[in-house]
Amino acid sequence: MSHQEPKIPFSSELKELAGHLREVHRQAEALGLFVEDRLLLHCAGCGLREDVRFDGRLVTSLQGVADARDSGLRFEPSAGGFVCPLCHATLSVRDEGEDN
């Protein structure tokens, strides 16, 4: 099957804007900002949970810990959702966020 460049019904300005948005998204990710289109994760196994600070940075801390500094741990994306970096439980994104 030959692959032809698809006809895009958008103006070149719109394509340029989309390119800028992708770059801003990439830069925000590089800065540790939460830019994902999903709910924040909470591991029922160990209590590790994600939070977003006032400045937009994604952090994790253990539920119930008064000193909720960033643990530095991050949930790892996997085929079924995410893997907890602490107890290695697999979290399905769809199951999360109901208690928030």
41 binds Zn ion (CB under 5 A): no
> Tokens 């994902």 sit at which residue?
36
Tell me which amino acid residue 37 is: D
Q: Which of 41, 43, 58, 59 binds Zn ion (CB under 5 A)?
A: 43
* Alpha carbon distance 96, 94 (integer Å): 6
91 binds Zn ion (CB under 5 A): no
Q: How far apart are the first and last CA of the chain?
A: 49
62 binds Zn ion (CB under 5 A): no
Q: Which of 21, 31, 65, 87 binds Zn ion (CB under 5 A)?
A: 87
Under the rule (CB under 5 A), what is the footprint of Zn ion?
A: 43, 45-46, 48, 84, 86-87, 89
